[in-house]
């Protein structure tokens, strides 16, 4: 059976391989430094298995996902992006809500 250290090393190497396909070497070096810094400074919390640790990495993952989405916003939500329909849908929902609100204010004045 593989030890936790060996398994962690394999996962990190595979993750770095996948990241290398997407990013430049300088970006990967920065990511590696941040990853090593986070893991080494919160090692006891990450190894804690009781589920009550204060720092689990979820916040860091959420911030990373948000940053990635914002960095790819033009490609994702642009005119030729995969999620182009999101922006017009938000605008349509906002306009429809404003129209309903204005209608409610007009109707209340007459009654």
20-58: pLDDT as tens digits? 666 666 776 777 777 778 777 777 766 766 665 555 567
Name the pTM for this structure: 0.39
| Local confidence band at 3 (pLDDT 50, 70, 90 cut-offs) | low
What pLDDT shows up at residue 111?
66
Give the helix/strand (H/E) hosting 26: helix 25-41
Contacts of 87 (CB under 8 A, 6+ apart): 77
């Amino acid at each position: 059976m593989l030890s936790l250290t060996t398994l962690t090393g394999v996962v990190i190497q595979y993750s770095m391989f996948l990241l290398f396909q997407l990013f430049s070497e300088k970006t990967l070096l920065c990511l590696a430094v941040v990853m090593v810094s986070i893991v080494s400074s919160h090692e006891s919390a990450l190894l804690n298995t009781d589920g009550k640790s204060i720092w689990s990495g979820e916040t860091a993952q959420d911030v990373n996902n948000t940053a990635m989405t914002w960095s790819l916003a033009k490609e994702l939500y642009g005119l030729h992006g995969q999620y182009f329909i999101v922006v017009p849908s938000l605008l349509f929902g906002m306009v429809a809500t404003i129209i309903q609100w204005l209608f409610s204010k007009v109707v209340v004045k007459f009654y």
